[in-house]
Amino acid sequence: MNAPLQKPVMDDSLLAKLTGRLGDKATVEKICSAFGDVYREFLPDVIKSETGLEVQVDYLGCHSGYKNDLVADLGESVTLVNAELRNWSRNVTMACGNGFIITLMEHLLGASPETVEQPADRLLSAIELELAVTVFDKIADVFRSAVNAPGGFEPTLEPPHAIETRSKPADDKPDEFAATINMSITLSGITADFALIVPQAALLKTTVTAPRAKNQSPKSSEWTDQLSEQVRRSQVTLEAKIRLQDLTLRTISKLAAGDVIPFHDSGDVRVDVSANSKELYVCEFGRSGENYTVRVKDTINSDDELIRHLMN
């Protein structure tokens, strides 16, 4: 008996090329380079108009492949934002090296350029992530101005997150071909990478337009005020310290489970409350219902001093 004929399976790359989801190398590189030109010319103007700081942006080339693989290749010291631009693409990923966010934070807090050093490779703190929201907004503004998406819609950005906390792609959701537009941004001699990872199905339909840079007066105080407001909304871990009665080393060495150490104060028990090793309040120890509490009796630092310390 003759074996049944099997229908040949078309190569995924070939199918993607035939359906407009994967472009040839020259076409993809040309479009990505056009995006790089826009960012090189326009993003420094945006940042300077907002902060008064001089940055340099350079285009580093592009890579093509499956989107999940391209995101995984970004490395560890980056922060990501998932973005959507209505009528263009719902699956854009923006990435920024943590070194730029950290360096920018130092400048906004008043550091002079000569004192800024290369940041350590680390995750962003909660407050730095708040600043990253503003940075990605500016990156997205330039992106939107370069894309000919109909309707004039603004980009929708999810909260920034570390690459290691990126949601694992669903097994039943097919990956799509994308391109990574690689760029660098330099501030006070500190250089970090940033990138756009864009589905090629959207990229290949795009006519990149270069917006005109607008001469605007610096508004660094607005960023500083915004940063201060973001700090005020941030969650801070408080620590309470209560002085206990002095004991000899002999007594301490013999303490066992169930032994009781009295407080140092015999009346109202003083509690020193701090955050990030900064003393904030003098409190008294108490209880409300089933919960132990502290009642604020005095403040140690002014509001502005506290905000500046927590931002650091």
Give the CA radius of gyration of the chain.
27
In terms of C-beta distances under 8 Å and separation of at least 24 residues, what long-range contacts does 145-148 make, across chains too? 145/38, 145/42, 145/209, 145/211, 146/34, 146/35, 146/38, 146/208, 146/209, 146/210, 146/211, 147/85, 147/88, 147/206, 147/208, 147/209, 148/206, 148/207, 148/208, 148/209
Tell me the domains of the chain and their CATH numbers.
12-233 (3.40.1550.10), 239-311 (2.30.330.10)
Strands (E), the chain: 55-66, 78-85, 89-97, 156-157, 161-162, 177-187, 190-199, 239-242, 270-275, 278-288, 291-299
Cα diameter, the chain:
100
The segments of the chain whose pLDDT lies below 50 read: 312
3-state secondary structure of 262: coil
pLDDT of residue 135: 94
pLDDT at 112: 78
Q: What's the pLDDT at 6? A: 59
Pairwise CA distance, residues 124 & 130, whole Å: 9
Task: Specify whether the CB–CB gap between 63 and 73 falls below 8 A.
Answer: yes
pLDDT at position 267: 85
Tokens of 2: 């003759």
For residues 217 and 123, the answer to whether their CB atoms sit within 8 Å is no
> pLDDT at position 161, please?
95
Question: 108-122: per-residue pLDDT in tens?
Answer: 877 777 888 899 899
| Cβ atoms 312, 108 nearer than 8 A | no
